[in-house]
Chain A
Amino acid sequence: MRIELRNVSLQHDGKPLLFQGINLALESGEFILVQGASGVGKSSLLRLMNRLQEATSGEILIDGKLIATYEVTSLRRNIGYVQQTPIMIPGSVEDNFNFPFQFHSTGAQKLPGLDEKQMWMDTFLLEGVKLSDDAMKLSVGQKQRIALIRTLLVNPKILLCDEPTSALDQQSKEIVEDSLERLNVEHGISIVLVTHLDFTLSRANSRRFLLQPNRLEEVSVSIS
């Protein structure tokens, strides 16, 4: 699956232009890092890619077709978005994993089995967490990883991550960085990740961009 932004601009109602003339293409299997200061529009850039928002002008193409031509619920299942603040549904960790499968758009998609859930929990180094644990009582770092797994269980082809490490301590940050890189390298999931922090990638086929007002510029080194 490929996402392409062509000359995209965004302006929220009654506010100044957030950005304009943005061009970006995410190729299948690629890991794109977008860095930039707070308030520059990083989250909005992601939200355009799964159609939580509409661009003010320009075109967004998914596999060469305009984003608006896709059925939106199925589009969002294929392009998973993990929010900056991990939101847990009241209930157990397993309730949270099962949450996406109550929706009509899931269609014939089977509820993931215990093995699959456990495999992802191992991948994200959640050994100390049980499926029956109260999700609301987990640490922020654990919630962040549960939120990632919940999105991954839907089998997205692309993962959009909004500041996944901003609220984490150094140890949790390294775990999430490593897990996301493994997702990309070992499972072939394309990733677009926005952050205002440094983000370490060693193995992934990645490109880094710096988002500034009215400009998205490819850079060769991490901006911290």
Chain B
Amino acid sequence: MEEEYEILENTVKDFNAKYVENNSLKFENESMGKEFVKLLADQGFFSMMGQSGEGAADVKTLSVVLENLAKSVPAVAVKTLLANSFLSLVNDPKITEAVANGSKSGTVTFSDLLVGPGQNGSLLLSDGKIKGEKQFVFGSDSDFIVTLLDTGELVLLKSGFTAGKKLKRLGFRSIGFSAVSVNSSDYDVLSKEGRKVLEKLYDQLSIPVAAISLGMSEAVSQKGLDYAKVRTAFGHYLKDFQPLAFELTSLIAEMEILKRYFEGLISTSPSRKEAMFLKHKALALAKDISKTSLQIHGGYGYLEDFGIEKFYRDSMALSVLFHNEEHEMEDLSTLVFETKAGFV
């Protein structure tokens, strides 16, 4: 890994140790609080991606930060990802400054890319007002929302919207997740070709999302290793039993290979296919390794105090909130076959 990334990694590690680890349950399940969000922003973590409208966004440094934030509390990494996504699309200086310094928050809705047409509510512009309801808004407790209208424009909602009842919360429980009712004349149209802009951003998130997955995998596998070395059963340490040792070792081998691949990609300009390869495998690994680590912990893994179960929930939530198996495998198959593939 390049020196600059190592410095960044150490910075995040120090930040985690100082501000995150002692509050992990609260940050995961309740709220991060304005003070902590400000601290995150003060590190410059919210504005690392640059403007995606100006060509390729800089996802490399962001990915290193996300990977390391995710090791302590994945929700903190995801909050950071949402802020970066938002700032990559919005130009209004007052708003960008407020979100970048953590005094306000912003989110981008990706749900239009994840569920079918008509399943995500409806937002229409009429007589200078945007009205309707948007379903599945992740980050619905934000001050600003970037979202798509039915007619394809990407808009920035600055006020005039309210979050509905919180949806079920598998993961990232401190981040709002609900439908949003909109009746707003306070908005900006960011792009007439909103879907394309959103799709481009979504693509650019492949490596950051993979980075979060890898950070989770590293953290949860370490917990599995640590526990297996001290916990005994039937007169042996758990590490001595082949089923557990082999399973965890195999997954860690996979993780180390992916990490090398990740580090290689962020040192170059990865192709879309390479980025999607990484995301595809990293999301699956995070789920598998969380499951194995939970199993190693037995009943204790099932309790939140041991800090395992949140990875089990979050890894699944991440793979749904920023990923759609069928859509992405169709895209990836087409890239692999170099012709349209995997659509029947």
A binds B: no
